[in-house]
């Protein structure tokens, strides 16, 4: 778990930071495995819209009918409010499919990436919205770059 090399560690921290700004409160990469995605299918039992990280608990029913409680860690209220989230964005009792990066220790805890509601509507991580905007800017930039060539 301890980083072995100076440069990759800093680069990874900051690169992940760009992807996961609000995970800055603690090191996302040290706690969660960003290379893996786990999807939970269950019912929201709690949603706390707090700092430094919003938290939800989800009851997931396994094949044998047993109920497992999972914790979902979100970006903090500080960041989520930037993208219009509020206490009522996720409702207790809602049935959802919720995806995220699992904790490295194997604990029943993920860091939120995407939520799909029963009606099929999706809720994405604020970092995803930011990256979508940036990629659109790059597409426009590429178009502008090629435009003069097309006119020749």
Partner 1 sequence: MRGTRFFALVSIVALGLAGCTKAAPPSPAAPTPGLAGMYSDPPATAFDTFCFFACTDVGLERLRTLLDDPGNDARPYSELSGEAVAYQTSEYVRPRLSEAALAAAPLDPLQDPGYLNCEPWGFVRQVFAPHQLEITQYADRVELHYGEWDARRTVYLDRRAAPERQPHTPLGYSVGHYEGDTLVVETSLVTANIAGNFTWDGRHSDQLTAVERYRRPSPERLELTAALADPWVLREPVEFKKVWSFAPDQEIGPYDSCQPAAARSAQETTQ
Calculate the dihedral angle through the C-alpha atoms of 34, 37, 38, 39, rounding to the nearest 10 degrees.
130
Interacting residues with partner 1 between 15 and 74 (CB under 8 A): 15, 17-19, 21-22, 24-27, 29-31, 48, 50-53, 55, 68-71
CB 41 within 8 A of CB 77: no
The number of C-alpha atoms within 13 Å of 120 and in the hemisphere containing its C-beta is 0
Interacting residues with partner 1 between 88 and 127 (CB under 8 A): 103, 105, 107-109
Nearest to 51 by CA among 74, 34, 70: 74
Query: Would the CA dihedral through 104, 110, 112, 117 be positive or negative?
Result: positive
What's the min distance (Å) between Cβ of 119 and partner 1? 27
Binding residue (CB under 8 A) for partner 1 from 38, 123, 124, 131: 131
Q: Which residue has the tokens 């706690």?
A: 31
Nearest CB to partner 1, comparing residues 41 and 135: 135
Does position 129 bind partner 1 by CB under 8 A? yes
Binding residue (CB under 8 A) for partner 1 from 88, 145, 147, 150: 145
Nearest CB to partner 1, comparing residues 36 and 138: 138
Nearest to 70 by CA among 105, 30, 98: 98
In the numeric block, which tokens belong to residue 76?
């903090």
The residue ranges that bind partner 1 (CB under 8 A) are 1-3, 5-15, 17-19, 21-22, 24-27, 29-31, 48, 50-53, 55, 68-71, 76-79, 81-82, 103, 105, 107-109, 129-131, 133-135, 137-138, 141-142, 145-146
């Amino acid at each position: 778990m301890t980083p072995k090399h100076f440069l990759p560690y800093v680069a990874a921290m900051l690169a992940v930071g760009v992807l996961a700004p609000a995970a800055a409160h603690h090191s996302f990469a040290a706690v969660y495995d960003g290379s893996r995605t786990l999807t939970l299918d269950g019912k929201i039992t709690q949603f706390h819209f707090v700092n430094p990280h919003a938290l939800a608990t989800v009851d997931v029913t396994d094949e044998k009918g047993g109920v497992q409680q999972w914790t979902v860690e979100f970006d903090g209220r500080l960041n989520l409010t930037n993208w219009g989230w509020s206490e009522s964005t996720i409702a207790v009792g809602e049935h959802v499919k919720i995806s995220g990066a699992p904790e490295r220790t194997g604990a029943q805890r993920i860091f939120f990436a995407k939520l799909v509601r029963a009606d099929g509507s999706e809720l994405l991580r604020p970092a995803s919205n930011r990256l979508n905007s940036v990629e659109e800017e790059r597409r426009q930039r590429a178009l502008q770059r090629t435009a003069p060539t097309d006119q020749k």
